[in-house]
């Protein structure tokens, strides 16, 4: 799979619509987690060096900030759409939340065309939302020459390596969004040597086994019965409970998983193993992060909660081979091998 890359084009004097994902936590008007923003800087700096006029496009979901102004302030860039005709080479400006417009999520043809009229070239640097068939991800490519950014290419290259990994290969799946994990579980049964199941997904397995899970989170619409006897799948052997709900894996499970991590040469991890934000129930997730960081194995980590747990454990992200900015798109790519945002950039 080869993509059209910005590394190979002349952008001097061209208006480049750069789709980024700055949907990050903001507290009191200030960016609280700049991981995703920092990952886009190499592309922004390359385009500036090449003399492009860069127009940043991003979205914000409900529950985050109401405006992208804190992100513009963080980057020290202008936040004015009507200044586009006056832009100088190497200048950067940012547009307001793209999801303020109904045509974005509907992938409306007219909206995509209007958006495209603002630029000369389109660059996708938002791998993390490239599973969405939205106007600023897919629709715009019909009206502008379209290319992948440096981070986009990096994400794709690393996630592709998980499809042909070194062995022994360990996949760790946790978190609370059970349905999003099933496609990955199904596909990786033929790729991974061992698959550890934690978080709420494990509760579904316990339920099918006939165990009492009390008030623990599980999805009654998800049936994992066909996976029960698969020898590759490893479930927690002990858990920590509070108020009749499973909130973390237990010490025996942590010890067992840590040993498997030591024996692995490639590790892919998505999703915490328990309710790590609650005091007393973070150990399973944090100890897993520490074990992976110290393992010497090639490691790929993804998902917002997973990264938050690593930060809580005070482990530098540099101790992992690759930390993805993606969550949902990571899972969809691993399950299907492509994304709508990838297809429109292929040569």
* Domain-wise residue ranges, the chain: 6-156, 162-336
Separation of alpha carbons 197 and 185, rounded Å = 9
> What percent of the chain lies above the pLDDT cut of 90?
89
How does pLDDT run across 274-316, given as a tens digit for each residue? 999 999 999 999 999 999 999 999 999 999 889 988 998 899 9
Separation of alpha carbons 16 and 54, rounded Å = 5
Q: From the candidates 103, 119, 175, 304, give the one annotated as an active-site residue.
A: 304
CATH entry, 162-336, from 3.40.50.1260, 3.40.1280.10, 3.40.47.10, 3.40.50.300: 3.40.50.1260
The DSSP element (H or E) to which 233 belongs, if any, is strand 233-234
3-class SS of residue 261: helix
Q: From the candidates 14, 19, 36, 240, give the one annotated as an active-site residue.
A: 36
How does pLDDT run across 182-205, given as a tens digit for each residue? 999 999 999 999 999 999 999 999
CB 101 within 8 A of CB 91: no
Q: From the candidates 177, 187, 232, 265, give the one annotated as an active-site residue.
A: 177
Whether 83 is catalytic: no
3-class SS of residue 220: coil
Q: Considering Cα of 185, then 189, then 191, then 197, what sign does the dihedral take?
A: positive
CATH T-level fold of 6-156: Rossmann fold (3.40.50)
Residue 82 predicted with pLDDT over 90:
no
What pLDDT, on a 0 to 100 scale, did the predictor assign at position 203?
97
Whether 36 is catalytic: yes
The DSSP element (H or E) to which 93 belongs, if any, is strand 92-94
Q: How many CB atoms lie within 10 A of CB 339?
A: 25
The DSSP element (H or E) to which 244 belongs, if any, is none
DSSP 8-state secondary structure symbol assigned to residue 232 = T
Whether 7 is catalytic: no
Q: From the candidates 119, 274, 327, 328, give the one annotated as an active-site residue.
A: 328
Whether 177 is catalytic: yes
């Amino acid at each position: 799979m080869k993509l059209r890359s910005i590394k190979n084009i002349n952008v001097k004097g061209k208006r480049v619509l750069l789709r980024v994902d700055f949907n990050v936590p903001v507290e009191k008007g200030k960016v609280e987690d700049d991981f995703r923003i920092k990952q886009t800087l190499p592309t922004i700096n390359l385009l500036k060096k090449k003399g492009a006029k860069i127009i940043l496009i991003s979205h914000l979901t409900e529950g985050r900030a109401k405006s992208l102004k804190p992100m513009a302030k963080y980057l020290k860039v202008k936040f004015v759409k009507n200044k586009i005709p006056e832009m100088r080479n190497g200048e950067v400006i940012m547009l307001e939340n793209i999801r303020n417009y109904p045509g974005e999520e509907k992938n409306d043809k007219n909206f995509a065309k209007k958006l495209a009229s603002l630029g000369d070239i389109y660059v996708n640097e938002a791998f993390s939302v490239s599973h969405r068939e939205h106007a600023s991800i897919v629709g715009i490519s019909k009206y502008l020459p379209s290319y992948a950014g440096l981070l986009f290419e990096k994400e794709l290259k690393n996630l592709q390596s998980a499809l042909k990994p070194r062995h022994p290969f360990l996949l760790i799946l946790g978190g609370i969004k059970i349905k999003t994990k099933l496609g990955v579980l199904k596909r990786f049964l033929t790729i991974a040597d061992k698959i550890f199941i934690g978080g709420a997904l494990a509760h579904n397995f316990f339920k099918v086994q006939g165990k009492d899970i009390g008030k623990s989170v599980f999805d009654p619409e998800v049936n994992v019965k066909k996976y029960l006897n698969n020898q590759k799948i490893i479930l927690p052997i002990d858990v920590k409970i509070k108020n009749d709900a499973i909130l973390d894996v237990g010490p025996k499970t942590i010890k067992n998983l840590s040993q498997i991590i030591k024996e692995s040469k490639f590790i892919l991890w998505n999703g915490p193993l328990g309710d790590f934000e609650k005091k007393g129930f973070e150990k399973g997730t944090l100890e897993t992060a520490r074990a992976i960081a110290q393992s010497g194995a090639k490691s790929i980590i993804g998902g917002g909660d997973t990264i938050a747990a690593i930060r809580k454990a005070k482990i530098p992200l540099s101790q992992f081979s690759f930390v993805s900015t993606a969550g949902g798109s990571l899972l969809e790519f691993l399950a299907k091998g492509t994304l709508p945002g990838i297809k429109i950039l292929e040569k």
